[in-house]
């Protein structure tokens, strides 16, 4: 794990925590699930490119799927 992956993981985890708090307050499932995945997905993906692609998809999910 290099510095860029670590930094991206920290930023994604912070945004994920924000999604979890928002989802709990609004009682919405998609932001909670997206937040949980954002907090942990950087441990499983090695490539910088796929890390950013997966992060972008998870960041955009609550805006496209509103349950």
Contact between 51 and 45 (Cβ < 8 Å):
yes
User: How far is C-alpha 32 from the geometric centre of its chain's CA atoms?
Assistant: 10
pTM (predicted TM-score): 0.85
4-62 pLDDT tens trace: 888 888 999 999 999 999 999 999 999 999 999 999 998 898 888 898 899 999 999 99
User: How far is C-alpha 33 from the geometric centre of its chain's CA atoms?
Assistant: 9
Does residue 66 register a pLDDT over 80?
no
């Amino acid at each position: 794990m290099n510095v860029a992956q670590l930094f991206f993981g920290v930023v994604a985890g912070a945004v994920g925590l924000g999604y979890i708090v928002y989802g709990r307050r609004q009682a919405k499932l998609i932001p909670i699930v997206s937040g949980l995945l954002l907090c942990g997905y950087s441990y499983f993906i090695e490539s910088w490119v796929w890390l950013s692609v997966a992060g972008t998809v998870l960041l955009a999910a609550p805006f496209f799927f509103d349950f």
